């Protein structure tokens, strides 16, 4: 028997109420040649009990155990090292997939001589009802197609929804393509690293990855710790471009990351009473990171470094008297890009 067609990697941490539905969706897959790699990330509930029960009955199931809690990204990296499939897939164990998910994606991936990626569609669903909460679940797919038709690199448009795709394992062999090690936004760095290597993707508007929205998940948590973690992830992306070179698309990508962080910071201000010293710490670190990007220091000098000081933010439109306008930031960065690249 040859290697598996697809290795499916799942980091497991405190998802006991949800993992049963995920496992059922994997057991219902309509294709042979799958292996399932569960990485036990030292949770405090009984999430692994259902996995262990399945593993005892099915030789396709493998379990890796971390010595301590290391987060989803680092756990997926362990799964990558252990995987044997021609393609890799990454699922969160509180989500689930349609029965034809791997059958359709694998068939598309190996067609026409083979592709580096095959991507389906991700639909957001309510954790309690299972009802779709996406107004246009195919939107990202359309954006990717449009960007590729315009000759843009894949990383410029495929920035999220990492779970809706399968990836050729050969591109992981160098060791550079791995998830980030931060507890938040680790998938963004993974997609950047992988898509920087290739534009070879085939896109289907089916099958469906069901992305469960639950209020206590990490992605829904907005506090000082998660915000500082987002800055660590941004620093990893900046470091990537320091190694591979800055160009206009790199600037555009980093602008997207900064915009995302500011939106989350706006959410922090809206949902909680952020301590002034915490706000100062966050904005100063964000300012320092932005000013490490070539071409941006001059454009931001005099504004971002003094962002918390009211008299220095007069040129900015502020959100709730705490944040600079994202539109103003975008215009500022565009000016820096134009100075650098014409």
Lowest mean pLDDT among 245-249, 267-271, 273-277, 302-306: 302-306
The pLDDT value given to residue 218: 52
The answer, yes or no, to whether residue 165 has pLDDT greater than 70, is: yes
The pLDDT value given to residue 20: 97
Lowest mean pLDDT among 94-108, 150-164, 187-201, 278-292: 278-292
The H or E element containing residue 2 is none
The pLDDT value given to residue 40: 98
Averaged confidence pLDDT in the chain = 83
Q: Enter the pTM of the model.
A: 0.87
Integer angstrom CA distances of residue 40 from 56, 75, 97:
16, 8, 21
The answer, yes or no, to whether residue 229 has pLDDT greater than 50, is: yes
The answer, yes or no, to whether residue 6 has pLDDT greater than 60, is: yes
The DSSP code sequence of 90-127 is E--TT-EE-TTHHHHHHHHHHGGG--SEEEEEEEEEET
Alpha carbon of residue 51 to chain centroid? 24
Q: What is the per-residue pLDDT across 301-318, written as a single tens digit (0 to 9) for each?
A: 554 444 433 333 333 333
Joined together, the tokens standing for residue 251 give 């600037």
Domain boundaries, the chain: 6-215, 222-341
The pLDDT value given to residue 327: 58
Integer angstrom CA distances of residue 207 from 29, 127, 166, 191:
11, 20, 12, 20
The pLDDT value given to residue 310: 31
Q: What is the mean pLDDT of residues 154-160?
A: 95
The answer, yes or no, to whether residue 297 has pLDDT greater than 70, is: no
Q: What is the CATH number of domain 6-215?
A: 3.90.550.10
Q: What is the per-residue pLDDT across 39-76, written as a single tens digit (0 to 9) for each?
A: 999 999 999 999 999 999 999 999 999 999 999 999 99
Joined together, the tokens standing for residue 68 give 């301590």
């Amino acid at each position: 028997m040859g290697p598996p067609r697809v290795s499916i990697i799942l980091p497991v941490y405190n998802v006991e109420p949800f993992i049963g539905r995920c496992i059922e969706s994997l057991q219902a897959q309509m294709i042979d040649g799958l292996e399932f790699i569960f990485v036990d990330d030292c949770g405090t509930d009984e999430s692994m009990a259902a996995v262990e029960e399945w593993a005892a009955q099915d030789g396709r199931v493998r379990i890796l155990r971390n010595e301590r809690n290391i987060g989803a990204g680092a756990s997926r990296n362990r799964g990558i090292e252990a995987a044997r499939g021609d393609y890799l897939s990454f699922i969160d164990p509180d989500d689930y997939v349609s029965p034809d998910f791997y059958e359709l994606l694998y068939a598309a991936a190996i067609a026409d001589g083979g592709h580096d990626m095959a991507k389906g569609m991700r639909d957001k669903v309510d954790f309690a009802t299972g009802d779709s909460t996406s107004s246009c679940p195919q939107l990202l797919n359309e954006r990717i197609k449009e960007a590729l038709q315009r000759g843009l690199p894949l990383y410029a448009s495929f920035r999220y929804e990492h779970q809706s795709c399968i990836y050729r394992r050969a591109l992981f062999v160098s060791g550079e393509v791995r998830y980030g090690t931060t507890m938040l936004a680790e998938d963004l760095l993974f997609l950047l690293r992988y898509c920087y290597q290739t534009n070879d993707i085939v896109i289907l508007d089916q099958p469906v990855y069901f992305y469960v929205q639950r209020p206590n998940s990490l992605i829904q948590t907005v506090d000082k710790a998660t915000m500082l973690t987002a800055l660590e992830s941004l620093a990893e992306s900046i470091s990537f471009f320091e190694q591979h070179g800055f160009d206009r698309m790199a600037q555009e990508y980093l602008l997207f990351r900064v915009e995302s962080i500011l939106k989350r910071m706006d959410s922090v201000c809206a949902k909680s009473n952020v301590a002034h010293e915490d706000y100062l710490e966050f904005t100063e670190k964000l300012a320092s990171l932005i000013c490490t990007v070539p071409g941006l220091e001059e454009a931001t000098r005099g504004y971002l470094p003094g962002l918390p000081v009211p008299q220095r933010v007069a040129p900015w439109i502020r959100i709730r008297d705490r944040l600079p306008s994202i539109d103003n930031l975008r215009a500022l960065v565009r000016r820096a890009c134009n100075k650098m690249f014409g």
